[in-house]
Amino acid sequence: MNHMHLAHISLLVDDYDKAIRFYVEKLGFKLLEDTVLSPAKRWVIVKPPGGGCSLLLAKAANAEQVSRVGNQTGGRVFLFLHTDDFQRDYGRMVANGVKFVRPPRSEAYGTVAVFEDIYGNWWDLVEPITRS
């Protein structure tokens, strides 16, 4: 039986520690690994509570990568963070100073609001409608 799943998504950042603070303290992610690979490179993995794909926080290493920090998708929503309790997580994120660029709204697929991370990447916070 074949089994495949998406393990990590690489997210360009400008500073490991600043990125860790945002994702762990502001969004409530868990720091799974922070391993020094060289004086300039670390293997840093953060993951939302409850599972799913994790983020590999990758420090930009050259001018081209630096130019992509915060704009890996050309201004589109980049990542989709699902929650089982929109109001709980939205309220916690607002209280933690996370910037929402579109307010909560109801859609056919669930409740959604768009926020940006410290780099300007746009995320959807979504509580999907569960269909029985």
**Chunked mean pLDDT (size 10), the chain, 132 residues:** 89 97 97 96 96 94 92 90 96 97 96 97 95 64
- The reported pLDDT for the residue numbered 2 is 82
Q: What angle do CA 61, 70, 41 make, to 5 degrees?
A: 25
Q: What CA–CA distance (Å, rounded) separates 112 from 106?
A: 7
In terms of Cα–Cα distance, which of 116, 121, 10, 115 is closest to 71? 121
Give the pLDDT confidence score for residue 75 in this predicted structure. 85
d(CA 94, CA 89): 8
pLDDT value for 72: 87
User: Where are the domains positioned within the chain?
Assistant: 1-62, 70-132
User: Which CATH code is given to the segment(s) 1-62?
Assistant: 3.10.180.10
CATH of domain 70-132: 3.10.180.10
